[in-house]
Chains A and B, each alone.
Chain A
Amino acid sequence: MKRKRNEQEPIPDPEHLTEEERVAGERAKLLFKTLRNETFSPDEKDALWNQVGETISQRKQRSFNTFWIAAAASVTLLLLAGVGYLVFYKDTARTMQEFAARGANGPDETQLILGDKRVISLRKENSSVEYKDNGALIQVDSSSTIDQQMAGDQQFNTLVVPYGKRSVLTLADGTRIWLNSGSKLVYPSQFDTRRREVYLEGQAYFSVKHSEDVPFHVYTRDMEVRVLGTEFDVSAYADDDYTATVLTKGSVELTGQSQSFFGSKKMKITPGTRAVYDQQRAALQTEQVDVQEYVSWKDGYLVLNSAPLTEILKKLSRYYRVDIILKQPKLAGVRFGGTLDLQENIRDILEAVSVTTGLNYKQQPNERRYVLEESTIKP
């Protein structure tokens, strides 16, 4: 508002004012000029100024604090959400991975390790474990049953299948898992309501019971396989430099494990596809394959279509828990085809291999060790 100076007009309505009134006004004006004002002492004035400054800096501090507290709070929330995500999802995998590392290595017999650390030995070469009654009852080798206490917190069971043994696991949700020799599977004693998660080391064939709302996750060191319900094989042996998934039917979604950083890019594969994660190249690649070659082991035979000899021998040594040494390394890459019946014993198998490859095999005395070499005597 602009201020008007009206020194000459101190009285509101000059025309209505009498001379006396005007004079009274002038006098009043004069009087008001004599008013003595309360004054600050310089100290008071400075003190008040300092107080103002203090309050302002406090407010600034406060609003600064408020800003940072708010900022920190949101960041913390995000972090917590992130950590929570990791804890809830990734760390189930990680926890299971730790369990797998902890689990007995190389026992002679198949072992079922329960959440309460009870260890059940399964003597059969091809054992079976079946969870019934929502996981509270475990039937082992269709003969004995075990009660499992369901603890409130998440507990894990581990099935360890040594070389030379196999096991078929039926989970409470009806999912069947064939575990090949030299494999470990870690799984919760009871599945979460939102997702079913297992961790695999070695090879397993999964026949996952379909559940639209509860996806099934197979974690391995390098790969995560997510399915709703389908059949597929996962091979993730620690001594192989690759992890592979072969899909029999349905569809699966593959994700690289976060540790390996080959991108959290998801990949969907269709039946007949083999997806291989190569550790050295840190890359996920797919190829069309004869599925039988990769999954026939669960039915007790090995289908080979032009497989490198080393691959064949590796599979055999796992399956039969024997060492097979190839004396002439140059033969490693030579490919062979055929079908091997895994019900037969290793000697019969090696006999068959020898015949096909034109090699001889020798058994080392008192050892589960065989040597495959070129015949010195040509047939």
Chain B
Amino acid sequence: MTHSDPDQDTWLRFISGDPDAFSDLYDEYADVLNAFGMRYSADRDMVKDCIHDLFIDLHGYRKNLAQDANVKFYLLKSLRRKLHLARRKSSMLRFDRWDTEDSLAINTFSFSIEDEMIISEKERETLQHLAAEINLLPDRQREILYLRFHQDLDYDEIAAIMQISVPTCRTFVYRALKQLRGKLEFGAILLIMCC
């Protein structure tokens, strides 16, 4: 997803108080935010509530928003924070889970290699293995991969969203890839053995 001028234009119009820009901003980002939110939660209503609150905040604080913000990054970051808070709030009410970590974990992914890709059978298998391995990665590593490869955010942005340092972020990606490569090899061996 490229960062086109129209996006920034909507953002600037929004900050300057153009009421149409607010609705444009919603049209543009509501789906993105919903998709993003649903990565962290299965609770549709909670995600919707967070998006709702996010837009209320945007509207309320529009005069104080930075003009040169990367809109998508800013929105995702804000939504993630809201989701985190909502999660913490709801877990506080659930006494049976008082000891669980209150951090926000990304759900496992269901990649849909089948329909979308015209690739070789072998490659498909490899990807299926990789997909399985990705889902076995620690939550935070999976999250980084998602933000990096799906949301196209850079390391600075990922670090900011996850509230970690940029080097830590890089290390996480490196580790994830290293692990995936190792598993792939293992998977390949398994494949060979099965064959």
Contacts and interface: CB of A to CB of B under 8 A. Distances in A.
Given A12-B155, A35-B150, A48-B52, A3 B3 contact: yes
Contact of B170 (A13, A18, A28): A13
Contacts of B112: 34-36
Contacts of B73: 1, 3
14 contacts: A1-B69, A1-B73, A2-B68, A3-B153, A3-B154, A11-B174, A13-B170, A30-B127, A32-B150, A35-B109, A36-B110, A40-B31, A52-B56, A56-B59
A11 B181 CA distance: 13
Contacts, number: 130
Interface in B93-136: 109-113, 116-117, 126-127, 130-131, 134
B154 A32 contact: no
A48 B51 contact: yes
B137 to A, nearest CB: 10
Interface string A18-37: 10111111011111111111
B38 A37 contact: yes
A24 B39 CA distance: 22
B56 A59 contact: yes
Given A2-B68, A39-B35, A40-B30, 19 more contacts: A1-B160, A12-B155, A12-B170, A12-B173, A21-B178, A21-B180, A22-B177, A24-B177, A25-B177, A27-B126, A28-B176, A30-B117, A32-B149, A33-B150, A34-B116, A35-B112, A35-B150, A37-B31, A56-B56
A348 B18 CA distance: 97
A21 B38 contact: no
B174 A16 contact: yes
B154 A4 contact: yes
Interface residues of A, number: 42
Contacts of B174: 11-13, 16-17, 21
Contact of A3 (B38, B59, B70, B148): B70
Contacts of A2: 68, 70
Given A20-B181, A31-B113, A36-B112, A10 B56 contact: no
A18 B185 CA distance: 13
Contacts of A37: 31, 34-35, 38
A145 interface: no
A145 to B, nearest CB: 76
Contacts of B26: 49, 52
Contact of A27 (B55, B127, B178): B127
Nearest to A36: B112
A24 B180 contact: yes
A45 B31 contact: yes
| Chain B contact residues, majority secondary structure | helix
A66 interface: no
Given A1-B69, A28-B180, A38-B34, A52 B111 contact: no
Nearest to B114: A34
B177 A52 contact: no
B149 A10 contact: yes
Contacts of B154: 3-4, 6
B181 A18 contact: yes
B155 to A, nearest CB: 7
A154 B167 CA distance: 82
Contacts of B110: 35-36
A51 interface: yes
Interface string A45-89: 100110110011001000000000000000000000000000000
A16 to B, nearest CB: 7
A319 B173 CA distance: 113
Given A24-B177, A45-B31, A52-B26, A33 B149 contact: yes
B176 to A, nearest CB: 8
B59 to A, nearest CB: 5
Contacts of A1: 69-70, 73, 156-157, 160
A32 B145 contact: yes
B90 interface: no
B134 A45 contact: no
Contacts of B60: 59
Contacts of B48: 44, 48
B16 interface: no
Contacts of B176: 28
A42 to B, nearest CB: 10
A43 to B, nearest CB: 12
Nearest to B174: A12
A32 B156 CA distance: 20
B30 to A, nearest CB: 5
B157 A3 contact: yes
Contacts of A25: 177
B23 interface: yes
B184 interface: yes
